[in-house]
Amino acid sequence: MHTKTIAIIGAGLAGLSTGCYAQMNGYSTHIFEHHSKAGGVAAAWRRDGCLYTLNHKGAYMSWLPSADNILETIPRTLPGLSNFYMAGQWVTPGGSVPTSLFSGRQLIEVLCNQDGKKFAVPK
């Protein structure tokens, strides 16, 4: 049987989660990360007594939740782009570790449904 390969852009928590759930469900994966470290904004290292993260000039938890957007659902696809899905803190207002990880899991659940496969999570 041919194994579908998923290209994942970014090795932040959402990309890593997507990769893990994809492999658990029999997909082959390639993760493309433009930084030398994995982990995205959750990665950190010490240098000269300071703690650095990868959120230079970025937002550390995505959109600021407000009364207007807290119940918003941000689409995970873009018009005209088939087989392209988004996961991570920018599609989950408020961001955070749990929602970024969960968005990767959700994405693979959607792909499994589309492929007629039962979504599996090891016990």
Ligand X SMILES: Cc1cc2nc3c(=O)[nH]c(=O)nc-3n(C[C@H](O)[C@H](O)[C@H](O)COP(=O)(O)OP(=O)(O)OC[C@H]3O[C@@H](n4cnc5c(N)ncnc54)[C@H](O)[C@@H]3O)c2cc1C
Kindly state the smallest distance separating residue 89's Cβ from ligand X, in Å: 4
| C-beta of 35 vs 115, nearer to ligand X | 35
Alpha-carbon distance of 63 to 11, in angstroms, equals 20
Alpha-carbon distance of 71 to 97, in angstroms, equals 19
| C-beta of 97 vs 120, nearer to ligand X | 97
| C-beta of 32 vs 84, nearer to ligand X | 32
Contact, 20 vs 122, CB < 8 A?
Answer: no
Residues that bind ligand X (CB under 6 A): 9-15, 32-35, 40-42, 53, 55, 60-61, 88-89, 95-98, 100
Alpha-carbon distance of 56 to 60, in angstroms, equals 9
Kindly state the smallest distance separating residue 8's Cβ from ligand X, in Å: 9
